Amino acid sequence: MIRINEHYLKLQSSYLFAEIAQRVRRFQEENPETEVIKLGIGDVTRALPEACVRAMHNAVDELGREETFRGYGPEQGYAFLREAIAREDFQKRGADISEEEVFVSDGAKCDTANFQELLGPDAYVALPDPVYPVYLDSNVMAGRTGALQGDRFQGVRHLESTRENGFIPDPPGDPVDVIYLCFPNNPTGAAIGHEDLKKWVDYARENRALILYDAAYEAFIRDDSLPRSIYEVPGAKEVAVEFRSFSKTAGFTGARCAYTVVPKECTGYTSQGEAVSLHGLWLRRQSTKFNGASYPMQRAAEAVYSREGAEQVRELIDFYLANASIVLSQMRSLGLTCSGGENSPYIWVHAGRDSKEMFELLLSRAGVVCTPGIGFGSCGREYIRISAFNSRRNIETAMERIGKVL
Ligand code: MLT
């Protein structure tokens, strides 16, 4: 008899965004005349930067010719991309990351979900609440939590991100083994400063803990005083892994390319307290289970760092940030308190009522899809998340419709 991994049975029946998509599909079937505007899942809507498209075309042509054809690439990614990443995203900002510490992949979602495989089965996990569900669900699947009780899984440390702490939790008073942080945050849009980030790095160093730092929205930071990478904090290389993505930066949600930085100094421990490099373990894991992101996508990602590509990416992000500012000002003019929307494509709105009720109200009366905050954790119970990823026309229409309903 084949036994299943029963930890899967602890999960909610479906993944948050799949559940919302199903609800929206049902609404559309019942209301075919309503033009639904989707500001739920953070999926980009604008075309890829021209520089990336050209690079992709050239790469496809190379694959189509015998003399330039390539088969399997290196599992960690091609040197041309890893070098560009290390130089442009880290070394130029004073963070001492080498190309060997960069692992190219096809998505930050899978990297953040997979990385926990390297951790002991009994690692004590600390997660923000609200949180991007992937961090929690992947640890539930691995058996690192107890059962769901009410809105929360037992055996996990919840770091409450609330209005009172500006949605930036402080390190706990007691030791945990692994901490997930995401800044600019999904879903609250909060961006962390150097001082607060240093508190976390110091905590991890004191407790020999590991920080899994998701910086997928780093490109939205426009305030130059904010850190873009955790490695801008001294000592972070020993205790932090950073996840980045081209999805939101350059519109690659459909194209797929991302990367994870695992510094060579970054350390985990055996049950005997012996130090082990996580870099070596991740290399072993990736070379066993992954065959690399596709060559055309890696060439397209490389183009993000060309002068032309960088300008086009900046224009893309400016566009979504301008959308975010339209959402933010409409929500505020309706008297709602918000976080995010600056240095972030997400606006976290205090709905002042049950988040699912607000989701239903906006869907049924305004034909606008948002994400109910409860889907990100119990601290999101009275919040909704609005994504700025859409056309200007749709953002303006959605805000107008919401204005009429509220
Ligand atoms: C979100 O809406 O939170 C993100 O788009 C999900 C993701 O990046 O996987």
Q: Is 41 a pocket residue for ligand 1 (Cβ < 6 Å)?
A: yes
298/312 same-domain check: no
Distance 271 CA to ligand 1 centre (A): 35
pLDDT above 90 (res 58): yes
pLDDT, tens only, 91-105: 999 999 999 999 999
User: Tell me, what CATH number does 116's domain have?
Assistant: 3.40.640.10
Looking at the chain, the number of H-run helices and the number of E-run strands are 12, 17
350/290 same-domain check: no
pLDDT above 90 (res 19): no
Q: Is 42 a pocket residue for ligand 1 (Cβ < 6 Å)?
A: yes
Task: Identify whether 262 is part of a domain.
Answer: yes
User: Tell me, what CATH number does 29's domain have?
Assistant: 3.90.1150.10
Q: What is the pLDDT of residue 18?
A: 87
Q: What is the pLDDT of residue 17?
A: 84
Give the mean model confidence (pLDDT) for residues 313-327.
Answer: 98
pLDDT more than 90, % of the chain? 97
Give the mean model confidence (pLDDT) for residues 377-395.
Answer: 97
145/13 same-domain check: no
Range of the domain at 65: 53-306
Spell out the residues 6+ positions from residue 359 whose beta carbon is closer than 8 angstroms to its own. 20, 369, 370, 371, 372, 384
The per-residue pLDDT of the chain, averaged, comes to 97
pLDDT, tens only, 250-307: 999 999 999 999 999 999 999 999 999 999 999 999 999 999 999 999 999 999 999 9
How many Å apart are CA 222 and CA 194, to the nearest integer? 15
- pLDDT bucket at 37, cuts 50 / 70 / 90: very high
Q: Is 244 a pocket residue for ligand 1 (Cβ < 6 Å)?
A: no
Q: What is the pLDDT of residue 398?
A: 98
Distance 106 CA to ligand 1 centre (A): 14
Distance 121 CA to ligand 1 centre (A): 26
pLDDT above 80 (res 15): no
203/91 same-domain check: yes
Q: What is the CA radius of gyration of the chain?
A: 21
164/266 same-domain check: yes
Q: What is the pTM of this model?
A: 0.97
Between the alpha carbon of residue 11 and those of residues 15, 139, 145, 151, the distances in Å are 9, 10, 11, 11
- Which residue out of 15, 16, 17 has the highest number of ligand 1 atoms within 8 Å of its CB and is therefore the one to mutate? 17
Task: Identify whether 1 is part of a domain.
Answer: no
297/174 same-domain check: yes
- pLDDT bucket at 130, cuts 50 / 70 / 90: very high
- pLDDT bucket at 144, cuts 50 / 70 / 90: very high
- Which residue out of 45, 131, 132, 244 has the highest number of ligand 1 atoms within 8 Å of its CB and is therefore the one to mutate? 132
279/293 same-domain check: yes
Strands (E), 188-265: 210-214, 240-245, 258-261
pLDDT more than 70, % of the chain? 100
